[in-house]
Amino acid sequence: MPAIAGVHLTALKAGIKYKGRDDLLLVRLAPDSSVAGVFTRSTTASAPVQWSRDVVGRGKARAILINSGNANTFTGKQGHADVKRTAAMAGRIGGCKASEVLIASTGVIGEPLPVDRIERALSRIKSRARTASWLQAAKAIGTTDTYPKGASFRVDIAGSPVMLSGIAKGSGMIAPDMATMLAFVFTDARIPPGILDELLRESARESFNSITVDSDTSTSDSLILAATGQAGNPAPKSKSDPSLKAFRTALKELMTDLAIQVVRDGEGASKFITVDVIGANSTANARKAALSVANSPLVKTAIAGEDANWGRIVMAVGKSGAPLDQQKLCVSIGGIAIARSGGRVSGYDEREVATHLEGANIQIEVDLGVGRSRARVWTCDLTHDYISINADYRT
């Protein structure tokens, strides 16, 4: 993945929770960079989320400090003081005010942030250090992730070539809204903060907000988009500016790519599942039905067991409350129609579906039979490994 002009990365070993690996990432942004953010809707949002919401509200930032191993959530007044202190520290290194530093933390909830360790690590930064790679950066922000997640695109805005690069980390506690714990997307394009915010929200809906691993929403979910303006393109006038067409498409593709990487790495996942709901009477209801299927433990365990138990899909659609016509409801797995007109397709041969379920990419489609709206969500199966990872996460 190529570097982005105006983005400087430093990965550090602070020893917050993990030993012998990078767990702190300082991102320095060129002066006058625009930022936008989307955060968890949790009412117990972490101290860093509360801080970063304010920074993003001003539309400008010069640095992002990200740590893994401790979420600094539900840590009371101390938690807020710790955020302020680390932001000030990062600001000194980045040559900016604390109020221009975004903070993101991921890891265990409720334990005090070891600020001293973060301070010690930051104090080791050399003034002329070379930028770290995206790979190093993606590794530094990971927790239970089994692989680093990144994606990159190159497009033009009004004739100027611009770059987009992003990194993300999962991998449990993934549910809309928001759907990933942390994702950071950078571009060297020049885009004013208001437009950047609109572009981010538009792309988030069909990417990070359409994935789910276990229906649990984190207190720390943060998605940040930063634009350094170093590409020298003329600033667009609005989200709908024709010069932004390729950029919008690339941003959506990049974020979808990252979101899918997150869900593929769902804790304990052995299969990647795409759920399409069509024939709904509204997009909201299509989405509701799709998420109900994607979050159903009974559907997810059946797929882990490669069992073509399509009745559980019917159950999950039924419990969602999305309007449907039982006499028109259709269910297919792997493109093979199983149920139609309120019952099993005559002559249905389960072996074909069984073969599809042996694969790693599972496709489920449900037609509710009451309209033309549709939604797609992505999830993974529910396996013994999910239990193993989560029954004993903290030790």
Please report, as residue ranges, which positions from 253 to 292 form the binding site for its own copies (by CB under 8 A): none
CB of 123 or CB of 388, closer to its own copies? 388
CA atoms within 13 A on the CB side of 4: 33
CB of 59 or CB of 311, closer to its own copies? 311
CB of 71 or CB of 290, closer to its own copies? 71
| 352 contacts its own copies (rule: CB under 8 A) | no
CB of 74 to its own copies, least distance (A): 5
**From the candidates 73, 180, 187, 383, which is the catalytic residue?**
180
* Count of chain residues binding its own copies (CB under 8 A): 72
Binding mask 202-241 for its own copies (x = CB under 8 A): ------------xxxxxx----------------------
According to DSSP, the β-strands at 160-169 and 149-157 are: antiparallel
| Amino acid of residue 171 | S
User: What CA–CA distance (Å, rounded) separates 315 from 317?
Assistant: 6
Residues 331-350 that bind its own copies (CB under 8 A): 338-339, 341-344
Residues 36-75 that bind its own copies (CB under 8 A): 40-45, 71, 73-75
| 373 contacts its own copies (rule: CB under 8 A) | no
| 85 contacts its own copies (rule: CB under 8 A) | no
| 31 contacts its own copies (rule: CB under 8 A) | no
Order of strands across the sheet that contains 149-157 = 34-39, 222-227, 182-187, 160-169, 149-157
CB of 7 to its own copies, least distance (A): 31
CB of 18 or CB of 74, closer to its own copies? 74
- The token pair at 226 is 């930063």
User: What CA–CA distance (Å, rounded) separates 166 from 127?
Assistant: 25
Q: Which of 184, 208, 272, 386 binds its own copies (CB under 8 A)?
A: 386
What SS3 string covers 16-73? CCCCCCCCEEEEEECCCCEEEEEECCCCCCCHHHHHHHHHHHCCECCEEEEEEEECCC
User: What CA–CA distance (Å, rounded) separates 90 from 319?
Assistant: 48
Q: What sign results for the dihedral spanned by CA atoms 370, 375, 381, 382? A: negative
Residues 152-181 that bind its own copies (CB under 8 A): 172-173, 175
Q: Which of 234, 321, 335, 359 binds its own copies (CB under 8 A)?
A: 321
Going by C-beta distance under 8 Å and a sequence separation of 6 or more, which residues neighbour residue 45? Answer: 39, 73, 219, 220
User: What CA–CA distance (Å, rounded) separates 140 from 118?
Assistant: 13
| 323 contacts its own copies (rule: CB under 8 A) | yes
Q: Is 75 a catalytic residue?
A: no
CB of 51 to its own copies, least distance (A): 14
